[in-house]
Amino acid sequence: MVIGIDASRANREFKSGTEWYSYYLIRELAKIDSTNQYVLYSDQPLTGGLADLMDEGGEAGGEIKMENGYQKIMSPHNNFKAKILNWPPAFLWTQIRLSLEMLFYPPEALFIPSHTLPVVHPKKSVVTIHDIGFERLREVYSSDKIGSGRGSASIFFDFLAKLFTVGEFRSNILDYHSWSTKFSLKHAKKIIAVSKFTKQELIDVYPAYRQAGGAPSSKIEVIYNGFNADLYKPVNDKQKINRVLDKYGIKAPYIFYVGRLEKKKNIARLVNAFVNLREKYKELNHKLVLVGNAGLGFEEVKYIIEEFDFNSEVIITGWAPEEDLPYIYRGASLFVFPSLYEGFGIPLLQAMASGVPIVASDIPAVSEITAGSAWLFNPRDRRDMAEKIAEVLLDNKLAEDLAGKGKIRVENFSLNKCARETLAVIEKI
Residues 261-285 have pLDDT tens digits of 999 999 999 999 999 999 999 999 9
- pLDDT value, residue 64: 83
Predicted structure pTM score? 0.92
115-136, pLDDT tens digit by residue?
Answer: 899 999 999 999 999 999 999 9
Residue 63's nearest CA partner among 78, 74, 76 is 74
Q: What is the mean pLDDT of residues 385-398?
A: 98
pLDDT-derived band at 27 (thresholds 50, 70, 90) equals very high
Least confident stretch, 152-166, 235-249, 282-296, 398-412: 152-166
Least confident stretch, 13-17, 129-133, 147-151, 235-239: 147-151
29-41, pLDDT tens digit by residue?
Answer: 999 999 999 999 9
- pLDDT value, residue 167: 58
166-184, pLDDT tens digit by residue?
Answer: 556 666 778 888 889 999 9
108 contacts: CB under 8 Å, gap ≥ 6? 1, 2, 3, 122, 124
The CATH number of domain 2-226+415-428 is 3.65.10.10: no
Cα separation of 227 and 401, whole Å? 22
pLDDT-derived band at 388 (thresholds 50, 70, 90) equals very high
Q: What is the mean pLDDT of residues 326-333?
A: 97
Domain ranges of the chain: 2-226+415-428, 238-412
- Per the prediction, the chain carries an average pLDDT of 91
pLDDT-derived band at 88 (thresholds 50, 70, 90) equals confident
| pLDDT over 70, % of the chain | 90
Q: What is the mean pLDDT of residues 69-76?
A: 94
Same fold: 2-226+415-428 with 238-412: yes
The topology under which CATH files domain 238-412 is Rossmann fold (3.40.50)
Question: What does R_g of the chain's alpha carbons equal in angstroms?
Answer: 22
